[in-house]
Structure 1
């Protein structure tokens, strides 16, 4: 039988989420078309001004899907350490991105899409954040609702 770690307290879960947001490079981003067709892609991100900042080609389904609804789901971590973020996304043109945000993206991810017309940034503002490792952390997994940390 596998020994499980004890459940983390809410403060530790929040800190672990913030560590993922600060240190992870990639996330799974889920959107849906206006017809409800799902799209799931990995994208690199930087945690910037309390939002996830990502970049993709403007014609890719992820960017196109965000235009009508603005809703996205993002996951970080692996299946035994999940961070699930639901949020509102906006498409930001490279020329409209604050220089500090573009510089943070470039510094962390080692590429700069700002001067590439085919690319746009996606800024996802978290509305809800949930985090859990195993079944023993399902209770209390909600750490943010309506954009406000509960801890």
Structure 2
């Protein structure tokens, strides 16, 4: 089934992407172990201070991989409405952890701070792409090197 709608402008795609980041609650997070073993998991998230904040146990492969290496990919949506983010992950500590955890709990109605071993990780986007159908693939780049394109 092919979409017969015209391709969205970059401005519209950016607006749609930011809306998804604000409204969606789940994403797919892809990392790799030191030996290259891939790891892909669904996680809940909040868009907070221009980053994707996820929460998982530090000992889970995703947490361990992000703390060790920092490289990560995040996807939102279905195969016919994709947002792909390549970014850098970091472990949140101190005040940044507190504000991110507050935002996470407010959006998701679950507060992992009540559980043992959970950490908050911020994924700062470096590349953002969005497309729906083949007619949007050519213009899918919305961000490069951490800067939104006009």
TM-score scaled by structure 2?
A: 0.94
Aligned to 2:128: 129
Runs of at least 4 residues off by over 6 Å:
none
**Root-mean-square deviation over aligned CA pairs:** 1.5
SS in 2 for 1:12: helix
Q: 1:78 to 1:2 in 2, by over 3 A?
A: closer
CA offset digits 1:30-63 (Å, max 9, x no partner)? 0000000000000000000000011001110001
Query: C-alpha separation between the residues in 2 aligned to 1:60 and 1:96?
Result: 24
Equivalent residues, number? 150
Q: 1:41 to 1:98 in 2, by over 3 A?
A: closer
SS in 1 for 2:18: helix
CA shift, 1:104, in A, is 1.1
Aligned to 1:143: 142
Aligned to 2:24: 24
Question: Any stretches of 5+ residues in structure 2 without a counterpart?
Answer: none
TM-score scaled by structure 1?
A: 0.93
CA shift, 1:115, in A, is 4.2
Aligned to 2:4: 4
